[in-house]
Structure 1
Amino acid sequence: MLIAHFPDFDLAGWHRPHFSPRELACRCGGHLCHGEYWHDEGFLDALEALRAAIGRPLVVNSGHRCEQWNASVGGARQSMRRTIAVDLTLTGHDRFALLTAAERLGFSGTGLARTFIHLDRRAVPTRWYYRRSAASWQT
């Protein structure tokens, strides 16, 4: 794993056709970190495999957050977003198929919201519901 700033990231070896460092980098707009990006080969390979398994585009709502941006949006101090995590929109997807495929591919941190799913690869598997979202995940 390494941390870089997106404008300086070397794309020569990039081999993921469905995702880019730009969409996974901090979204503070350059006001706080100038596009901080956390590179993790295993995470990125799993994300690309998830896209292949689902067979449809996956839209990244949010990826890495720099420390300042995470604090300004109310993120947890020890959030996986400080390294690498994604929130993917659920629009156009079967939420249960996406969750099942993600867990099968090694995403062990799953946050379930009404309109998105949070995915990360933490050491201890954890699942949680965002406020007022549990009912949308009941079958």
Structure 2
Amino acid sequence: MWHAVIWLAAALVLASAEVLSGEFVLLMLGGGALAAGVGAVLGLDVVGSALVFVIASVLLVFAVRPPLRRRLDRATANAGALHSNALIGKTAVVVSRVDDHNGQVKIGGDLWTARPLEAGHTIEVGQTVIVMKISGATALVVPED
């Protein structure tokens, strides 16, 4: 029964360590350790628990992890692109003078670093602008006519 506690502790440690890696390998190994811990609680000896760990871990790493990674990668890629693209064409209000070196605008309640779309232009506080492009975390804007 002592090995059940070790397997369950290992499952907790591996699942917690997954937060640092983000690759889902440690989470899958944690799932294998959890399965081994449950097996130990149900009466498996150390060798049986180790066998359950290996089989469960291999199945999780090769059967569950790939679709999970694809789904996460797809969701992550879409989230950033959708948010940035949704801002193009929106109006914003200048809250800090916008020039080639600094400036801020408020877009839908969010504060963004801003630069004029065309170098050399200055846009004063209070003016309404249109977001033409997003470059990283900076909105490139033009004054609204």
TM-score, normalised by the number of residues in structure 1: 0.22
**TM superposition score normalised by structure 2:** 0.21
* Bigger CA radius of gyration: 2
Higher relative contact order structure (alpha carbons within 8 Å, sequence separation ≥ 6): 1
Which structure carries more helix by proportion?
2
